[in-house]
Amino acid sequence: MWDYSDKVKDHFFNPKNAGAVEGANAIGEVGSISCGDALRLTLKVNEESEVIEDAGFQTFGCGSAIASSSVLTEIIKGMTLDDALKVTNQDIAAELDGLPPEKMHCSVMGREALQAAVANYRGEEWKDDHEEGALVCKCFAIDAVMIEEMVWANKLRTVEDVTNFTKAGGGCAACHEDIEAILEKVLKERGETFDPNAAPIEKVEAKAEKKPLTNLQRIKKIEEVIMSFRPQLMADGGDVELVEVVDKTAYVNMTGACNGCQMSSMTIAGIQQRLMEVMGEFIKVVPASQMPTAGLVNIKEAGHA
């Protein structure tokens, strides 16, 4: 039984951004259902800034494929295309607190889908460098270029490593000698010696724990999220404003058509959910009417200052 992190399980049972993005202007498709894994990534890109405003995925595959696709969309939202292209399969796995070695190919598929989507947006033809007759693994259509790239990028050492990261060699095994030749070549270039009896690399570990937000950083992020909700509310005759932040509780005022609206509680819940997604910590959003009296007095005094 593979050892899955809590983050992998969460993204599998509660995937983020599942489905196609409405009005997408970038689409990337990789994999093949016949080979067991396929991913379709859709992006909505701001044409002036090239910032990814929304991302969605449709995946055919295992739980790790779903989790990798889900976390990828969370990572790249808000990035420019150039910054998104810097995201590696190691970043995807690390954001999930690691993946079992046997499932690392799922993170590679996510990275390739992103490259394909960016190429699609820019009117370019994305190629996976396959050439007729150059395939190393015919079972899964994996070529030498991809294997070499993965060996370099992930410091792979064994045929088992290559299979875990690319699926090459996972079928009939007829390509194992060719994979060993590639490993020997790349390791020599790295100043290492290929050892056919070496142990495979261990599970890719998570990134170092993120530092907690300062109060100033927390307030700034809360303001940014609330600002993102305002245009839609204002279009319906309402609005929302941040009144105060106390520890990890944000007090807000719903004004205009939102004041007393039956949907205001759902709007507040939506803001809270979005804040937790953006900040990676629990944030409570509460109507200002529930703020402690002392706090309300201070606000009034501030208003008359």
Integer-rounded Cα Rg, in Å, for the chain is 24
If you search the block for the tokens 């994305």, which residue do you land on?
126
Number of helices and strands in the chain (H, E): 11, 8
Quick check: is 172 catalytic?
no
Q: Which residues lie closer than 8 Å to 50 by C-beta, 6 or more apart?
A: 80, 81, 82
How many of the other CB atoms lie within 10 Å of CB of 242? 18
The phi and psi torsions of 27 (rounded to 5 degrees) equal: -135, 130
Where residue 27 falls (left for φ over 0; alpha for ψ -120 to 50; beta otherwise) is beta
Q: Which residues lie closer than 8 Å to 40 by C-beta, 6 or more apart?
A: 20, 27, 28, 29, 57, 58, 59, 113
Annotated catalytic residue, options 106, 137, 175, 258: 106
The helix (run of H) or strand (run of E) holding residue 284 is strand 284-287
What is d(CA 130, CA 112) in angstroms, rounded to the nearest whole number? 14
What is d(CA 163, CA 194) in angstroms, rounded to the nearest whole number? 16
Instruction: Write the CA distances from 278 to 101, 163, 213, integer angstroms.
Output: 29, 35, 12
Annotated catalytic residue, options 35, 62, 139, 261: 35
Quick check: is 35 catalytic?
yes
Cα torsion angle, 245, 246, 248, 251, sign: negative
Where residue 11 falls (left for φ over 0; alpha for ψ -120 to 50; beta otherwise) is alpha
Strand, helix or coil for residue 127:
coil
Active site residue ranges: 35, 106
